[in-house]
Amino acid sequence: MCGVSADTSVFDVDLVALDGSPLDPATLRDKVVLVVNVASKCGLTPQYEGLEELQKRYGDRGFTVLGAPCNQFAGQEPGTPEEIATFCSATYGVTFPLLERLDVNGQSRHPLFTRLTAHPDAEGRAGDVEWNFEKFLVSRSGQVIGRFRPRTAPTDEAVTSAIEAALDASTPSGEQGWEKGVAADVRPGDRVRVPARDVELQVTRIDPAFFGNDAMVALIEDTPSRWLKVPAQVDTEVEIQRAS
């Protein structure tokens, strides 16, 4: 087991994005997640390429990689948040979310990794992370269901098979009142999740034929607490909670 009860998610801890802002809960909600402690100056750093390949391959099915920069292994992640972000984007075209730099072992271990490391690998070994690029697969319900040691490539069959099994075995939680649809189905007053954009909004109005393109709409939240415009193809998959 992963060190938490079956009705508790390993992500029920405070998570901070690389830029220092709280991580939007919608980033991980109802997704299969591969959590990886990453570093920019490691011999395994080219695994970023494989991680981004997974993101592109499975992202539209409700999957995301979650990178956790860590400097505990030979000081191989020494950069500032800005340097880390630039390196990942410019060198490997990373599009998946990154957390703030954190510790994965020892007394300063982040609570997320306290939960993750309680889960054993395929050989039955739990405990400390061995090195950069250890991988933890988490189900949509927030339970750890796989652990892969650093030298297992992201695109190794063991990893991809586990991801595909998790995606096939689970569907979004279907909380009361939510239904699947596409952007063209949305009406003003609906609450909408757009998994491809990792965003949730209260739609107050819709701009059809966005920028004169009949295949595009803009979903807009214009409330006292937030103004947000989300352009989307009319066939973009969304989850809708209808206005009562």
Confidence band for 244, pLDDT divided at 50, 70 and 90: low
With 0.75 as the threshold, say if the pTM is over it.
no
pLDDT tens string 128-167: 999 999 999 999 889 999 999 999 999 999 999 999 999 8
Burial class (CB in 10 A: 0-12, 13-18, 19+), 203: buried
- For the cut 50, the answer to whether the pLDDT of residue 1 exceeds it is no
At 140 the pLDDT is 87
pLDDT tens string 78-97: 999 999 999 999 999 999 99
Is 70 part of the annotated catalytic residue set?
A: no
- For the cut 60, the answer to whether the pLDDT of residue 58 exceeds it is yes
Give the domains, in start order, of the chain with CATH numbers: 25-169 (3.40.30.10), 178-241 (2.30.30)
